[in-house]
Amino acid sequence: MATVYHAKNTRSMRVLWLLEELGVKAEIRSLPFPPSKLQPDYLSINPTGTVPTLVDGPVRLTESMAICEYLAAKHNSPMLVAPGDPARTEFVQWLWYGEATLMTPLSRIATVGRLERKGADIDAVIEDARNNAGVRLTALERRLEGRDFLVAGRLTLADISAGYPLHLVGLFGIDHLLGPRSAAYRERLRSRPAYQRAIAVP
Ligand SMILES: N[C@@H](CCC(=O)N[C@@H](CS)C(=O)NCC(=O)O)C(=O)O
């Protein structure tokens, strides 16, 4: 059985959610956050100190979407849009959008918001990141016109990728940045039993 190193409200929720969608069991090891400070022995598992990490026999992966691709391929899931599929190119675009485009300003809000230092400069950085997230979210709003899911007319890893930054938007109290289609899309993802089981893991 594979092992997943997890911390609540982090990108490891993508992996837990996918496992639930696949109906695949794994050993979940929950860590305090940030593990590099609160559980430094985790650095021997993942030298970057980030979560998630997946260990599956000789396989060790430390990128949430690489873990999702690995698991979806291993279990022959249609959530992975394979090379040769007409939807593949769009799938790759939206797979990266969730991590590379949406997570950039949201990670800034998370890391700067954790600093003990407060003040006008910090507020300005957070405000700029919020504005930037709002601009980046408009691409999602446009994409969802006439669509329930990002690609291929079904739930794919692209939705798992985008689902985490949308979770953070809620946690950060910036729901006003979501257009109506994006808000409805997030609800569609959140209402899935697999999502709810994953999000409940401590
Ligand atoms: N690109 C990586 C990013 C992993 C990452 O930065 N995880 C955050 C939590 S969402 C983390 O563990 N941060 C702790 C730290 O940087 O010390 C992924 O998708 O897994």
pLDDT tens digit sequence for 76-90: 999 999 999 999 999
In this prediction, residues 173-186 reach a mean pLDDT of: 98
User: Do residues 65 and 39 both lie within one domain?
Assistant: yes
Ligand 1 pocket, residues with Cβ under 6 angstroms:
10-11, 34, 36, 49-52, 63-65, 99
Q: How far is the CA of 12 from the centre of ligand 1 (A)?
A: 9
Q: Are 94 and 158 in contact (CB under 8 A)?
A: yes
Q: How confident is the model at residue 116 (pLDDT cuts 50, 70, 90)?
A: confident
User: How far, in Å, from the CA of 155 to the mean position of ligand 1?
Assistant: 24
What is the C-alpha separation between 111 and 41, in angstroms, rounded?
A: 22
| Residues 131 and 173 occupy one common structural domain | yes
Q: How far is the CA of 22 from the centre of ligand 1 (A)?
A: 23
Q: In the chain, count of helices (H) and strands (E)?
A: 9, 4
Query: Is residue 82 one of the residues assigned to a domain?
Result: no
| One domain, residues 97 and 119 | yes
Asked if residue 59 and residue 127 are part of one domain, the reply reads no
Pairing mode of beta strands 53-56, 3-6: antiparallel
Rounded-to-integer distance, Cα 82 and Cα 64, Å: 18
Q: Which of 32, 56, 77 is the last residue of a domain?
A: 77
Are 70 and 108 contained in the same domain? no
Tell me: do 147 and 63 sit in the same domain: no
- pLDDT tens for each residue of 19-56: 999 999 999 999 999 999 999 999 999 999 999 999 99
127, 180: one domain: yes
End position of a domain, from candidates 26, 49, 77: 77
User: Is residue 103 located within the same domain as residue 182?
Assistant: yes
pLDDT over 90 (residue 117): no
Query: In terms of residue numbers, what domain contains 181?
Result: 88-192
What are phi and psi for residue 61, nearest 5 degrees? -125, 145
CATH number of the domain where residue 31 is located: 3.40.30.10
Going across the sheet that includes 53-56, the strands are 27-30, 3-6, 53-56, 59-61
Residues of the chain with pLDDT > 70, as a percent, come to: 100
Q: Which of 25, 33, 37 is nearest to 6 (CA)?
A: 33
Residue 151 resides in a domain:
yes
Nearest to 72 by CA among 188, 159, 190, 193: 159
Q: Do the beta carbons of residue 32 and residue 39 sit within 8 Å?
A: yes
Residue 182 lies in a domain: yes
